[in-house]
Amino acid sequence: MRIYAELAKTAFQSHITFRVNTLIQLFGRLIAVLIQVSIWSALISADRGMTTLEGVVTLQEMITYTLLSTAITLIVTNNMIGQVEQKIHKGEIATDLIKPISFSGLLISESVGISFQRIIFELVPVVLISSLLFGIQSASVVHLLLFLVMVINGTAIYFLISYLFALTAFWYIVSWHFGALFYMIMMVFSGSLVPVWFFPNALSTVAEWLPFRLIFYSPISVYLGKVNGMEIIWMIVQQLIWIAILLLVQKWIWSRATTKLVVQGG
Amino acid sequence: MGIQVENLVKTFRRPRHREGILGALSDLVYREYDEKKAVDNISFKIEPGEVVGYLGPNGAGKSTTIKMLAGILTPTSGSIRVGGLIPHTQRIENTKRIGVLFGQRSQLWWEIPVSESFQLLKYMYKISEADFRKRLGVFEELISLSDIYHLPVRILSLGQRMRAEMCAALLHQPDVLYLDEPTIGLDAVVKENIRNFIKQTNQETGTTVVLTTHDMPDIEKLCSRVIVIDRGRVMFDGNLEMLKHRFGSQNKLIVEVEDGLPDPQRLLLNGADEVIQEGRSSIITYDRNRRNSAGFLSDLAQLHKIIDFSVNEPDIEEIIRRMYKSLNQSDVESRN
């Protein structure tokens, strides 16, 4: 296990060197938050809120939702699809497979390392600055802890799904369109942009059957106190079930992928 | 650790692209595939401690075989055992006992210093601190690392990087070492260093070495045995002496005579295979099993005054070239 921690550390170290990059991304995130907050402010009445399937949602709740969603994005975002595509396209995969570590372990460790870099240099400043500007609703300690547990589970789900999409490169060599598809599906069904509260009935049923909402919508609802007791436990159980399913699927796909592998460039 | 390969086959399926826009459109609807046998029924056995040169022209299937031996690629059929393990199904177990070097790729981490890459490898292969120190000491003595040890890999020259790559491949003291063109693109001095390093490692730790190369001195200095493949099939498997005997019987006699050039027709009639005349010298190629230099010389001496002559036995490069050429010819003949 030590090696995976070391790989994460190395990825973390090699990423903090790009300072200008970090600053520009930070600035971009703040603009995105500002735009989202402005849209919600225009849509939701500051005194009466907005009536949804799940009851009344206030503007303050929606701003908090936007900030938390941005925070989760900064934790889960990874470039596994692009990385694996490059490894296959250039044949670098050969040097990964001669090492006594699992390929998924290698990718996930590196992604975790980069996420830590983003948490420190983007998430913390973005959340601090925007909560000073727009205000963030506080949660009870229990809800905050449950939120954190669910974000960790959600990150595992996100990483496993992106890993599965990344493995398509073993078949198709070029896989960025799978990446684009993945991000679109994720954006809609996770509730990262628009909470599932606002979904029409049919769409919310679809979202219910997919794992994506467990990454964004569910933890944030818990933070905001929109769900209670048994519902929260059921959400966490669903997260664990999805993690188990994805782990099995990943194992199966990997065993098929290795037979398909062609190392490009001799 | 020995290697056993039986009836190994690797087939790649690749889409056949039709030409033009119409062709591209029909490719979208219905795609045809070509099957290419990169490795076609290869068998061999390598004993522990052997140094084997795995040779063949470009595209012969050398790298594909190495990648299957290392567990990177899955064979289409046939079996591989490396020290009792099946590389592609027991990849992680297998990689603990092998070292691999691809001359055209880097297995080190690009952004971080060599020292930190080595630290990662230390954790990866669970090498004890004492062993780690000891091996670094040995590497320092054999190939000298201290000048590059603290530099990031991306700023190293190719020669410097290959020194680091060699050490990285050997850091965990593997039982088997696969080298895929280890000296490609290196200058003469670095090549020599790398060869000595391989040789010493083999002698001191008994590491089995399989190497592919196009560099003939690599073979002559390192390999006790060569396996030559072409189009995925084994064409020759034996020691260097046998290879020389089979494909190296063509000697070259270089003669200079006083009055102009001797008549090439006459030499050919006397049994020369080829006569090339450059400047004042004539290069006569003949098969030493059938003719000898004395015969040509005494015949020439009847008409000319001989100033100078020399007889060259073919070097390994020449032998391999002849071999590849005869492979091509036999292929043409069999097709006819």
B67 with A263: Cβ contact below 8 A = yes
Mutate to test the interface with A, among B17, B89, B98, B120 (most CBs of A within 10 A): B120
Tell me what pLDDT residue B73 has.
93
Bridge partner list, B226: B53, B238
Query: Closest Cα to residue B179, out of B188, B193, B169?
Result: B169
Helix extents (H) in B223-308: 240-247, 264-269, 293-303
A10 with B12: Cβ contact below 8 A = no
Least confident of A146-155, A170-179, B187-196: A170-179
**The pTM is what?**
0.84
Q: Give the start-to-end residue ranges of the domains of chain A.
A: 2-260
Query: Closest Cα to residue B227, out of B56, B81, B107, B14?
Result: B56
Strands, E assignment, chain B: 3-16, 32-46, 51-55, 77-82, 98-102, 176-180, 208-212, 225-230, 233-239, 250-257, 274-278, 281-287, 306-312
Q: Which residues of A touch B91 (CB under 8 A)?
A: 97, 258
Identity of the residue numbered B50: E
- Per-residue DSSP letter, B175: S
Of B63, B74, B95, the CB nearest to A100: B95
Tell me what pLDDT residue B216 has.
81
Query: Closest Cα to residue B55, out of B318, B249, B236?
Result: B236
pLDDT surpassing 80 at residue A142? yes
Bridge partner list, A49: A45
Please tell me the distance in Å from A12's CA to the nearest CA on chain B. Answer: 11
Q: Which residue of B has its CA nearest to A170?
A: B73
Of B72, B95, B111, the CB nearest to A263: B72
Q: Which residues of A touch B12 (CB under 8 A)?
A: 262
Q: How confident is the model at residue B335 (pLDDT cuts 50, 70, 90)?
A: very low
- Identify which of A8-12, B15-19, B141-145, B275-279 has the greatest average pLDDT: A8-12
A258 with B88: Cβ contact below 8 A = yes
Of B63, B104, B124, the CB nearest to A99: B124
Q: How far is CA A188 from the centre of its chain?
A: 13
Q: Give the start-to-end residue ranges of the domains of chain B.
A: 3-244, 249-313
Q: Which residues of B touch A259 (CB under 8 A)?
A: 74
B96 with A99: Cβ contact below 8 A = no
pLDDT surpassing 90 at residue B230? no
Q: Record the tokens describing residue A48, joined without a space.
A: 């009466």
pLDDT surpassing 60 at residue B336? no
- Residue B219, chain A, CB below 8 Å: the answer is no
Mean pLDDT across the stretch A41-58? 83
Angle, helices A103-118/A80-90, rounded to nearest 10 degrees: 130
Maximum CA extent, chain B: 76
Tell me what pLDDT residue A189 has.
94
Gap between the Cα atoms of A165 and A214, Å rounded: 18
Q: Which residues of B touch A100 (CB under 8 A)?
A: 92-93, 95-96, 124-125
Q: Record the tokens describing residue A54, joined without a space.
A: 């799940």
Tell me what pLDDT residue A266 has.
61
Instruction: Report the CATH architecture of B249-313.
Output: 2-Layer Sandwich (3.30)
Gap between the Cα atoms of B227 and A195, Å rounded: 65
Gap between the Cα atoms of B137 and B59, Å rounded: 39
DSSP of B48-68: TT-EEEEE-STTSSHHHHHHH
Identity of the residue numbered B170: L
Q: Tens of pLDDT along A224-233?
A: 999 888 999 9
Q: Which residues of A touch B119 (CB under 8 A)?
A: 6
Gap between the Cα atoms of B72 and A127, Å rounded: 44
The pair phi, psi for residue B237, each rounded to 5°, is -145, 110
Query: Closest Cα to residue A112, out of A168, A68, A181, A162?
Result: A162
Q: Tens of pLDDT along A80-128?
A: 999 999 999 888 999 999 999 999 999 999 999 999 999 999 999 999 9
Mean pLDDT across the stretch A199-228? 93
Q: What is the mean pLDDT of chain A?
A: 91
Tell me what pLDDT residue A31 has.
94
Least confident of B18-22, B45-49, B200-204, B313-317: B313-317
Helix (H) or strand (E) holding A171: helix A169-172
Q: Which residue of B has its CA nearest to A13?
A: B112
A263 with B73: Cβ contact below 8 A = yes
Cβ atoms B285, B248 nearer than 8 A:
no
Q: Record the tokens describing residue B164, joined without a space.
A: 């680091």
Give the other-Cβ count within 10 Å of A234's Cβ: 12
Q: Which residue has the tokens 């009851």?
A: A55
- Interchain CB contacts (distance < 8 Å): A and B: 68
Gap between the Cα atoms of A178 and A164, Å rounded: 10
Q: Record the tokens describing residue A9, joined without a space.
A: 């550390």
pLDDT surpassing 70 at residue A216? yes
Q: Record the tokens describing residue B296, joined without a space.
A: 């040509």
Kindly tell me the burial class for residue B315, based on how many C-beta atoms sit within 10 Å of its own C-beta (0-12, 13-18, 19 or more). Answer: middle
Q: Tens of pLDDT along B69-115?
A: 999 999 999 999 999 999 999 999 999 999 999 988 999 998 889 99
Mean pLDDT across the stretch B16-25? 80
Q: Which residue of B has its CA nearest to A87?
A: B105
Gap between the Cα atoms of A5 and A1, Å rounded: 7
Q: Which residues of B touch A102 (CB under 8 A)?
A: 92
Q: How far is CA B238 from the centre of its chain?
A: 14
Tell me what pLDDT residue A246 has.
97
Q: Which residue of A has its CA nearest to B119?
A: A6
CB-based burial, B2-41: b 16+ in 10 Å, e otherwise:
bbebeebbbeeeeeeeeeeeeeeeeeeeeeeeeeebbbbe
Q: What is the CATH number of domain B3-244?
A: 3.40.50.300
Q: Tens of pLDDT along B108-162?
A: 998 889 999 999 999 999 999 999 999 999 999 888 899 999 999 999 999 999 9
- Residue B132, chain A, CB below 8 Å: the answer is no
Instruction: Give the residue numbers in A contacting B (CB under 8 Å), as ranges.
Output: 2-3, 6-7, 10, 13-14, 17, 91-95, 97-102, 258-259, 261-263, 265-266
Q: Which residue has the tokens 């390093």?
A: B197
Using alpha carbons only, what angle is made at residue B154 by residues B153 and B159, rounded to the nearest 5 degrees? Answer: 70
Tell me what pLDDT residue B332 has.
52
- Residue B67, chain A, CB below 8 Å: the answer is yes
Least confident of A88-102, A219-233, B173-187, B311-325: B311-325
- How many helices and strands in chain A, by DSSP H and E? 13, 2
Of A10, A91, A98, the CB nearest to B100: A98
Gap between the Cα atoms of A193 and A207, Å rounded: 14
Bridge partner list, B40: B9
Q: Which residue of B has its CA nearest to A14?
A: B111
Cβ atoms B83, B40 nearer than 8 A:
no
Q: Which residue of B has its CA nearest to A16?
A: B111
Cβ atoms B172, B121 nearer than 8 A:
yes
Tell me what pLDDT residue A74 has.
94
